[in-house]
Amino acid sequence: MSEPAASPLLVRAEGSVGRITLDRPEAINAVDHGMIRGIADALERWEHHPDIRLVLLDGAGDRGFCAGGDVRTLREQILAGDAEAAMGFFRDEYALNARIAAYPKQIVVFADGVTMGGGIGLAGHASVRIVTERSRLAMPETRIGFTPDVGGSWLLAHAPGRIGEYLALTGRTMDAADAIYAGFADHLVPADRLDDVRHALVTRADPDTPTEIAMLFDETPEPSRLASARRWIDDAFAAETVADVIARLRARPETDAHTTADELETQAPTALTVTLAAVRSARGVPGLRAALAQEYALVEWFGRTQPDLVEGIRAQLVDKDRSPRWQPATLAEVPAGTAAQALSFTPTVPLWS
């Protein structure tokens, strides 16, 4: 039941397992619009297919599962004034994120290596989320003047304590232990055993129990660094504003707290302000679809009204000078009510029709 792919995807059946491989290793499998549509089409075909019992999603190459979405194209579309094309991508991507979470057959994801941004949207909402000793997970959107999306705000909102605010504002990377602790992953399996897991999923007589199969290869991770840092993270990131968070970090005795304060002072002030409010708002929404709808409105707000998104992508990914010129440049200059304005923005086309 092999099927040709119209985008960098390998889509095929292996026994009763439908396997989708992101096949763009030169870009760490960053997803474009065609890949999003291809994954959605495969899930549509397999949802009621009697021979497909579960789905496996993985990435080609050794560098990572998925480095994120194609934000360079997003920048070009914004600069060209083609907001509709940009929002069309996000509509399809978010619909896929929600589809993965609600899919009636179990979806197993190998989040091996780099798994960030849009990669979290594919991996973070799956039924069985496997990480390895090589895994590096993050939602680094504030570093490009943006805010966590693809359902990332929902995952962050439900992390222990104030870990969600910490990860959202800093964009810091999680290893396997941190990802499991924060609720972004379920099992740690050594990278050299992933083929064994896949083989077991394909050949086992009872393929409806992928969790049990993963547990056959599961290893206990080292203690999470996030867990050990909870005291100062929870204290500082419970503060009402980003400025207050930084002040509390400065008052802490821990060296990493001061390093974190230094990092936050280099991030986009508007993105930090909106992201702090967005994660807290996501704690109160009724489910993932509502969180995605909130994120979708924020995406258009950033794209239509904020120069920082285009500038952040330029500095980090296009020119790579790592010297973004944020507007405004400081937290003190962010207008009062900015977060409320962003969260109340009405998108031109609704996400869910």
Q: What's the mean pLDDT when you consider all of the chain?
A: 95
Residue 124 lies in a domain: yes
Tell me the pLDDT tens digit for each residue of 220-262: 999 999 999 999 999 999 999 999 999 999 999 999 999 999 9
Tell me the pLDDT tens digit for each residue of 80-128: 999 888 999 999 999 999 999 999 999 999 999 999 999 999 999 999 9
**Average pLDDT value for residue range 270-284:** 98
Among the listed residues 38, 64, 68, 69, the single catalytic one is 69
Residue 351 lies in a domain: no
With CA atoms as reference, report the closest residue to 109 among 167, 54, 58. Answer: 58
Residue 75 lies in a domain: yes
Residue 307 lies in a domain: yes
**Average pLDDT value for residue range 177-181:** 98
pLDDT of residue 83: 84
Cβ neighbours around 61 below 10 Å, total: 17
Residue 90 lies in a domain: yes
Residue 284 lies in a domain: yes
User: Pairing state of beta strands 9-14 and 17-22?
Assistant: antiparallel
**Average pLDDT value for residue range 20-31:** 97
Q: 3-class SS at 331?
A: helix
DSSP at 4: -
On the question of pLDDT at 3 being above 70, the answer is no
Total domains present in the chain: 1
Q: 3-class SS at 49?
A: coil
Cβ neighbours around 164 below 10 Å, total: 26
Q: What is the CATH number of the domain that holds 248?
A: 3.90.226.10
- Domain span holding position 199: 9-343
User: Pairing state of beta strands 136-138 and 114-116?
Assistant: parallel
pLDDT band with cut points at 50, 70 and 90 for residue 206: low
**141 among known catalytic residues:** yes
Specify the higher pLDDT residue, 59 or 209: 59
88/322 Cα distance (integer angstroms): 29
Residue 66 lies in a domain: yes
pLDDT band with cut points at 50, 70 and 90 for residue 204: confident
Terminal Cα distance for the chain, rounded: 33
**149 among known catalytic residues:** yes
pLDDT band with cut points at 50, 70 and 90 for residue 353: confident
**192 among known catalytic residues:** no
Among the listed residues 70, 149, 175, 308, the single catalytic one is 149
On the question of pLDDT at 2 being above 70, the answer is no
Contact 187, 130 (CB under 8 A): yes
pLDDT of residue 208: 55
Record the pTM. Answer: 0.96
Burial of 168-180, coded b for 16+ CB within 10 Å and e otherwise, reads bbbbbbbbbbbbb
Residue 1 lies in a domain: no
pLDDT of residue 209: 82
Weakest mean pLDDT among 107-121, 193-207, 272-286, 314-328: 193-207
187/177 Cα distance (integer angstroms): 9
**337 among known catalytic residues:** no
Among the listed residues 18, 68, 117, 118, the single catalytic one is 118
Among the listed residues 58, 112, 141, 311, the single catalytic one is 141
On the question of pLDDT at 6 being above 60, the answer is no
